[in-house]
Structure 1
Amino acid sequence: MRSVLLFALLAPPCALAQDASFFSVPGQDWGLRFESSLVKSHKGASNGAEFQLQIETTGGLYATVFVEPAEGKGVDSQECKEFYWASAQKNPRIDSDTIQSAPSGDFVKVSYIVRAELNGMSIVQPNANYYGHRSGKCIDVHVSQPFLKGDPVDYTNLKLFEATLKYASVP
């Protein structure tokens, strides 16, 4: 049902302007609000019951949002996390020693590092999934930012995203 997307475009870390963004969930009176470096591109798709969104920022942060009916998946953020993470954790590129899980506002966060080869280059990619539940929907917000192995890993974009991610009413 869900496609796993690996965003592996490399962007150098740099100080960029910040942007507050709001993306509404089709058919709902709410959406997600967050701050990040400026949104460079976004693409969404909905079939009525499900919604997917892909976001790329000028600072190299990538985000995907999945919103699906919660039936059979969970009745709260923790149960939605358990349902989705059972599959996600099987990714062999995840460094299992880096997996951490904790509450984060209205969400349950799972953070981890992916180590991979891309076009002959080694990358280190910090990732976080924010699992939520709202209005009978399970939500999986995934963010990541790749860095070349050996380059300093800058968590500024990821920390800003986490500090500001929240549900908001449609204006």
Structure 2
Amino acid sequence: MKIIKYISAILLLVSNQAFSESTYITIPGEGWSLSLDTPPMTATKSQAEGRLLRYTGSSITTGVTLSVNTEIEATGSHKECFDFYWGKAQKNPMLMKETINTFKNSKAIYATHYSEGEYRGQPFKTANGHAFFVNNGVCIDLHVSHWPREKKSDKIVKDILMSLKITK
């Protein structure tokens, strides 16, 4: 019986470590990157033009999707960046407005919410979170989503958002 408990504890530890790794996203021409604790990204795509970046990454096995968008507008403060992007995000008809929660710390202004709808004829439910912040004159929208939405989705999304670091 002790062996089963020991093996179970090892498997739990290994599975938690396998879920999280450091993901680095370099902001073009800036000399700094975003660092996030995410599951391994199994598919990524990025498009850069000057200081603008459009990045998406996903983990097929965990249902986590990550995107980073930069702007050189609305770069005066976290609030200005938040207002710029969040104003656009709220126009999404699949966003469930009654689930919106906003909060902030010194790193960013955050918004979490659920989305529901249909994609390619299939219904979906996701948990979503955003971190909006300015660094070195660049406004950044970090978006994390987890599909399918389940009890642990809120924690997964928030843990990734809260792991945000700027590295040089």
Regarding TM over 0.5, the answer is: yes
1:49 positional shift: 2.7
Is contact 2:43-2:58 (8 Å) kept?
yes
1:101 counterpart letter in structure 2: T
Which residue matches 2:76? 75
Inter-partner Cα distance in structure 1 for 2:125 and 2:106? 27
1:167 and 2:163 aligned: no
SS of aligned partner of 2:156: helix
**CA deviation digits over 1:119-140, x for unaligned, max 9?**
5443211111110101111101
Equivalent pair of 1:37/1:157 in contact (CA under 8 Å): no
Q: CA deviation at 1:105?
A: 4.6
Among 44, 53, 73, the residue aligned to 1:51: 53
One-letter amino acid of the counterpart of residue 21, structure 1: T
Q: How does 1:1-171 map to 2 (within 5 A)?
A: 16-57=18-59, 58-70=61-73, 73-147=74-148, 152-155=150-153, 156-169=155-168
Q: Which amino acid aligns with 2:129?
A: A
State, as a whole percentage, how many aligned pairs show the same letter: 23
| CA–CA distance in structure 2, aligned partners of residues 48 and 98 of structure 1 | 36
Structure 1 or 2: more helix by fraction: 2
CA shift for structure 1 position 154: 2.0
- State the Cα RMSD in Å: 1.9
| Structure with higher RCO (Cα < 8 A, 6+ apart) | 1
SS at the partner of 2:29?
A: coil
Structure 1 position 159, deviation (Å): 3.0
Task: Choose 1 or 2 for highest CA Rg.
Answer: 2
Aligned residues: 151
Measure how far apart 1:163 and its partner are. 2.5
Structure 1: 5+ residue runs without aligned partners?
Answer: 1-13
Q: Distance in 2 between matches of 1:112 and 1:147?
A: 14
Equivalent pair of 1:19/1:39 in contact (CA under 8 Å):
no
Task: Please report the TM-score for the alignment, with normalisation by the length of structure 2.
Answer: 0.81
Contact 2:63 2:148 in 1 (8 A): no
2:96–2:116: 8 Å Cα contact kept in structure 1? yes
Greater Cα shift, 14-23 or 51-60: 14-23
